[in-house]
């Protein structure tokens, strides 16, 4: 089984992906274009958006930027974060996404989250029809638990439809995916595009001290959801330790954080993102870091490793 992701002209997926959640929101059109150009210069071919991002502006801006080189790129979008995973909603949102992007099809179509109220068989039957109609090439799943992915694999066999890529949250301070999700993907030959490898910005080191002017340092100051997600003291301690290691090595903490996330496995492609070109550059610099086993272990030791998925920990050697 070979499920390596390639673009329409056969270009392989890049080592990093770029997430365009900020396009048309915190990043205006000019800032978005500058970041896109920097990503392309760095060799990034994989761009990620969603129907729900910035009321559609993200897809519209990305669609304009990719027009001259579409066939060399992997373009991913997502449906059913809101409105449920019923066929009517999926079709409507994908139609709108394709219109915004200016494309007949997308390479990767994600179910943005698992819908407990919807029969997964009906959802997958609809997606199989859309793929057969040429509206997308690869099925992706986002924010799915391991058992939900395996359920999709089992039911999808009825429609010759198999998830090709999974998008979980994963960073040095959010390592739960190591318990079941990442091993499952390796076993099932599913690519992984983890989001938030910088831990909402905490792993850049910019939250080490309070701003002297009382202003915002980023989403952890602005968004209550992010403050709750990354609000534990040990996370700040881990970020501080990463900054110390980065200073020792003469690199940016963000570069180490992204390179570490990518270092989990060969088919792990972290999704980097930013609001400005200056903010993006340290993440792009992760491509230049040699993540040796020794360095990977040093970074891993800076945060708690999640417990294995067993209740017999005392019996393990």
| pLDDT band with cut points at 50, 70 and 90 for residue 220 | low
Measured CA to CA, the distance from residue 41 to residue 70 in angstroms comes to 15
pLDDT of residue 223: 67
Q: Does residue 173 form part of some domain?
A: no
Q: Does residue 284 form part of some domain?
A: no
Is pTM beyond 0.85? Reply is yes
| pLDDT band with cut points at 50, 70 and 90 for residue 1 | very low
pLDDT digits (tens, 9 = 90+) for 66-109: 999 999 999 999 999 999 999 999 999 999 999 999 999 999 99
pLDDT digits (tens, 9 = 90+) for 121-138: 999 999 999 999 999 999
pLDDT digits (tens, 9 = 90+) for 236-285: 999 999 999 999 999 999 999 999 999 999 899 999 999 999 999 999 99
For the chain, the residue count is: 317
Q: Does residue 23 form part of some domain?
A: yes
* 214 pLDDT more than 60: no
Q: Does residue 83 form part of some domain?
A: yes
Residue 11 exposed, middle or buried by CB count within 10 Å (0-12, 13-18, 19+): middle
Phi first, then psi, for residue 176 (nearest 5°) are: -60, -30
**CATH code for the domain of 44:** 3.20.20.100
Q: Does residue 292 form part of some domain?
A: no
pLDDT digits (tens, 9 = 90+) for 10-39: 999 999 999 999 999 999 999 999 999 999
Count structural domains, the chain. 1
* 225 pLDDT more than 80: no
pLDDT digits (tens, 9 = 90+) for 170-191: 999 999 999 999 999 999 999 9
Positions annotated as catalytic residues are: 53
Measured CA to CA, the distance from residue 167 to residue 141 in angstroms comes to 6
pLDDT of residue 276: 97
Pair 112, 143: CB distance under 8 Å: yes
Residue 30 exposed, middle or buried by CB count within 10 Å (0-12, 13-18, 19+): exposed
- Residues 152-156: what's their mean pLDDT? 98
Q: Does residue 109 form part of some domain?
A: yes
The domain containing residue 39 runs over which residues? 17-167
| pLDDT band with cut points at 50, 70 and 90 for residue 308 | confident
Q: Does residue 150 form part of some domain?
A: yes
Q: Does residue 34 form part of some domain?
A: yes
Measured CA to CA, the distance from residue 100 to residue 98 in angstroms comes to 5
């Amino acid at each position: 089984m070979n499920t390596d992701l390639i673009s329409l002209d056969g270009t392989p997926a890049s080592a990093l992906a770029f997430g365009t959640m900020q396009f048309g929101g915190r990043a205006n059109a000019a800032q978005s274009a500058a970041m896109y150009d920097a990503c392309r210069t760095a060799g990034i071919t994989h761009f990620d958006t969603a129907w729900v991002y910035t009321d559609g502006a993200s897809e519209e801006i990305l669609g304009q930027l990719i027009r001259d080189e579409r066939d060399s790129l992997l373009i991913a979008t997502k449906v059913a974060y809101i409105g449920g995973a019923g066929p009517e909603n999926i079709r409507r949102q994908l139609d709108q996404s394709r219109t915004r992007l200016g494309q007949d099809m997308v390479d990767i179509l994600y179910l943005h989250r698992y819908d407990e109220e919807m029969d997964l068989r009906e959802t997958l039957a609809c997606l199989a029809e859309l793929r057969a109609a040429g509206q997308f090439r690869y099925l992706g799943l986002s924010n799915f638990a391991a058992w939900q992915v395996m359920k999709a694999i089992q039911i999808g066999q009825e429609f010759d439809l198999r998830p090709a890529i999974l998008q979980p949250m994963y960073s040095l301070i959010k390592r739960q995916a190591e318990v079941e999700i990442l091993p499952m993907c390796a076993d099932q030959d599913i690519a992984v595009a983890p989001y938030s490898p910088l831990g909402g910005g905490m792993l850049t080191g910019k939250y080490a001290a309070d701003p002297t002017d009382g202003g915002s340092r980023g989403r952890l100051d602005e968004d209550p959801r992010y403050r709750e997600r990354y609000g534990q003291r040990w996370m700040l301690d881990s970020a501080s330790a990463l900054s110390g290691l980065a200073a020792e090595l003469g690199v940016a903490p963000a570069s180490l954080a992204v390179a570490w996330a990518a270092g989990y496995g060969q088919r792990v492609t972290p999704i980097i993102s930013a609001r400005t070109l200056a903010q993006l550059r340290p993440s792009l610099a992760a491509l230049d870091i040699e993540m040796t086993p020794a360095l990977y272990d040093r970074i891993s030791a800076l945060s708690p490793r999640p417990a294995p998925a067993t209740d017999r920990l005392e019996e393990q050697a």
